[in-house]
Amino acid sequence: MALYLRKKLENKAEIAVWQVTETEDELRSLVSVPTDEMEEISLYRNENHRRQKLAVRALLNELFEEKMYLNHHDNGKPYLENSVTNISITHTDKYVAIIISDDDELGIDVESLDRDFSVVEKKALSEDEIDDLEKEKRNEQLAIYWCAKEAIFKRMSQNRVDFAEQIEVEKFNVRKEGELEATFIHKDEHEEDFELEYMIFDRHVLVWLVG
């Protein structure tokens, strides 16, 4: 088994991260998957995608004693059919992460720092955020910005969100672990403030939001 991290947060939410080192067959032997879900997983042509989906199931098996039935709303937001627990899911080729909470709305995102995030600056950052970038840690900063905005996007579950105009992340210094402050600006100009947390591990960035 490759459970990389399991972390309980102060607000009773919980994060779990799976390092996807197993083959598809090994993951299938590890997990118990409802028939409908297995049929859906089998439709993915890309083996990495199938492994990621099976790793999500492995995390659900870790976090819940009973079998959970995972489904998605029309907008892609995941939910558990047989539980009131909220869930958010994210993955890269190497890691899969989920966050759960009985009480709060959630968002989570993970990205590999081996990816070039320069395109994020042009399509997802405001002028103020671009001004706050530092030359030495530019790619790490861009990755954190992107993950934070993705986590908020998942939390809000709205269509056609302009990341540059509607999600503003306050200036921060890159550390191994840290907190972020951000604001979501609705189309009617109403603003919601959020506090996020992040961690950097094994050349990856993980950002999550509870509340």
Span(s) in the chain for CATH 3.90.470.20: 3-103, 110-210
List 95's β-bridge partners, or say none. 19
Using CA atoms, how far residue 71 sits from 89, 150, 158, 181, in Å, is 12, 20, 18, 31
- 196 burial via Cβ count (<10 Å: 0-12, 13-18, 19+): buried
- CA distance linking residue 129 with residue 138, whole number of Å: 12
Q: Which CATH number fits domain 110-210: 3.40.50.720, 3.40.50.1100, 3.90.470.20, 3.20.20.100?
A: 3.90.470.20
User: Which residues lie closer than 8 Å to 115 by C-beta, 6 or more apart?
Assistant: 143
pLDDT in tens, the chain (211 residues): 689 999 999 889 999 999 999 999 999 999 888 888 888 899 999 999 999 999 999 999 999 999 899 999 988 899 999 999 999 999 999 999 999 999 999 999 999 999 999 999 999 999 999 999 998 999 999 999 999 999 999 999 998 999 999 999 999 999 999 999 999 999 999 999 999 999 999 999 999 999 9
Q: Please give the CATH architecture assigned to the domain spanning 3-103.
A: Alpha-Beta Complex (3.90)
H or E segment at 41? helix 35-42
- CA distance linking residue 30 with residue 178, whole number of Å: 34
Is the pTM above the cut of 0.75?
yes
Q: Provide the residue count of the chain.
A: 211
